[in-house]
């Protein structure tokens, strides 16, 4: 190993990332301050406030809408694979596949 690679290896192995993170005084200070704050600081008005407010109702409708969209997309994917499975079963059974008559 030459002198240059030894120097690079020593820099990589003895950096601040190698120290145990709980020994950092900054981490202890931030953790201590986080424990002293009121719990209402961590929650938004919807989560901490009244659940019958217009903001909470809007969030509930948004969640329901997203669940409806995701559910319909998943149902379409399942229907597609069921359709493909049924058609491949017909082909494997030797039955002729007729195209659908719907315009």
Q: What residue numbers bound the domain in which 87 lies? A: 3-93
Q: What pLDDT is recorded for position 71?
A: 97
Task: Indicate whether 11 belongs to any domain.
Answer: yes
Distance CA 45, CA 56 (A): 8
Distances (CA, A) of 76 to 29, 71, 73: 52, 9, 5
The pLDDT score that the predictor gives to residue 43 is: 66
Asked whether residue 98 is domain-assigned, the answer is: no
Residue 55 lies in a domain: yes
Residue 43 lies in a domain: yes
Residue 97 near residue 91 (C-beta atoms within 8 A): yes
Specify the pTM: 0.47
Q: Quote the number of domains for the chain.
A: 1
Q: What is the pLDDT of residue 95?
A: 75
Q: Look at residue 45 in the predicted model and tell me its pLDDT.
A: 60
Domain assignment present for residue 103? The answer is: no
Kindly report, residue by residue over 34-91, the tens digit of the pLDDT: 778 776 666 666 566 667 778 778 888 999 999 999 999 999 999 999 999 998 988 8
Q: What is the DSSP letter of 99?
A: P
Residue 83 lies in a domain: yes
């Amino acid at each position: 190993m030459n002198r240059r690679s030894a120097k690079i290896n020593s820099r990589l192995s003895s950096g601040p990332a190698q120290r145990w993170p709980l020994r950092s005084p900054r981490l202890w200070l931030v953790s201590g301050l986080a424990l002293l704050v009121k719990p209402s600081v961590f929650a938004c008005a919807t989560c901490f406030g009244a659940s019958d407010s217009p903001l909470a109702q809007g969030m509930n409708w948004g969640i329901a809408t997203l669940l409806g969209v995701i559910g319909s997309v998943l149902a379409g994917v399942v229907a597609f694979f069921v359709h493909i499975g049924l058609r491949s079963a017909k082909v494997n059974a030797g039955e002729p596949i007729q195209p659908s008559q719907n315009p």
